Structure 1
Amino acid sequence: MSDETRPSRTAAVIPAAGRGVRLGPGAPKALRALNGTPMLIHAVRAMAASRSVSLVVVVAPPDEASSAEVKTLLADHALPERTDFVVVPGGESRQESVKLGLDALPPGIDVVLVHDAARPLVPVDTVDAVIEAVREGAPAVVPALPLADTVKQVEESRADGGPELVVATPERARLRAVQTPQGFDRGTLVRAHETVTDNVTDDASMVEQLGEPVVVVPGHEEAFKVTRPLDLVLAEAVLARRRANDGF
């Protein structure tokens, strides 16, 4: 089968090695429960809900015990049979963990999603929109939402903890709050991780540094990141509404 006729295959990499200290003491963030189910399982199911995703690679904390715990979690929860799941140990940084997840991908994967385990409720329509944009030729795609709040740029924080000085007010209409999954042409993302050594906050920033275009598709308000205790409350409310509306 030629490259032109071979169907494009998609894999998702989920870095789940962070501690999530802003959520307070307890289990690693990805293992915190939402509606009795670990956040990580919700995130894995969100990726596997797309029929385009044939493989999910979960990047666990680097220690052997945590990797074993994650493998047990995946084995103990119902996941779509059409999707394969792999667990690999992560690194000391998110960037290193994503690279280890990329290294675990088999041949034949053309599109790669990178998804935060802390965004457990992203709808499948958003996942599919990202994949479709990559398949249509974009080397990198991010889902994003317009900002509701005015944003201020300030000087670096003062050592004495005093009030910060505002230096600019960016034009809000041109700003977007970026979510995940971020989607990539596999070759482009691999090249970015081989080339960019700066510590970045997302993989799309690495592709930008290559000079490659990054495009935006509409995000979704339910794809928010669970970072603080109040976010857990909001996530539980979203799940309760889904159960009431959809029966699950």
Structure 2
Amino acid sequence: MENELFGVTVEKLVLAGSQTIYMLGWGMIVGGILGVITALGLVLTRRGGLMANRVVYGILNVTVNIIRSIPFIILLVAIMPLTRLIMGTPVGTQAQLVPLVIYITPYIARLVETSLLEVKPGVIEAAQAMGATNLQIIRYFLLPETYSSIVLAMTTGMIGLLGATAMAGYGGGGGVGDLALTYGREAMNTPLMVFTVVILVIFVQILQALGNGFARRLREPH
């Protein structure tokens, strides 16, 4: 038939691609913001931190560890009631943002936490000696020192989230994963399966190249 590629209409291919980009984009924006906030909470409230608080750190640390230990496909099913409560339905592209954000937030939090802990104590001590407040230390010293590392962490997180969006097809999220499952595996359409794999590989290469390039620019002296 005309207007088909690997037995699937071009419209379906474009729709699947746009759904993946939608889930990846919004999932990364929301999850990235929450992940950085969580990472700051872990670093600031840990023992010896600027705002050391044993209880808050314990809650954040345990919560992050619990969520990270759950495979995405299980998390997707387990929180369907929560997804329905927030989005009104547990299925659909928009609805899958709930499990995607919950999945990626602690993942990014750990990566960013590692980056923040690399800041030399001397930098913080110098800021405190100048009379900087905790908020000023975070904004002008802690984060700027780790921008390059955080960009690489975000790139790694985005690639991990891309894999999760592929599995989101099980929750009716659509996207490339759903395309491979519905029209590839179930219809025994091997060429389509290979095509989706190639597209995902290219996507990962582009994301990694962009992340590396941006991080390199941030490392260059101004």
Alignment TM class, shorter chain as reference: under 0.3
Q: Which has the higher strand share?
A: 1
Q: Which has the higher helix share?
A: 2
Larger radius of gyration: 2
**Higher relative CO (CA 8 A, sep ≥ 6), structure 1 or 2?**
2
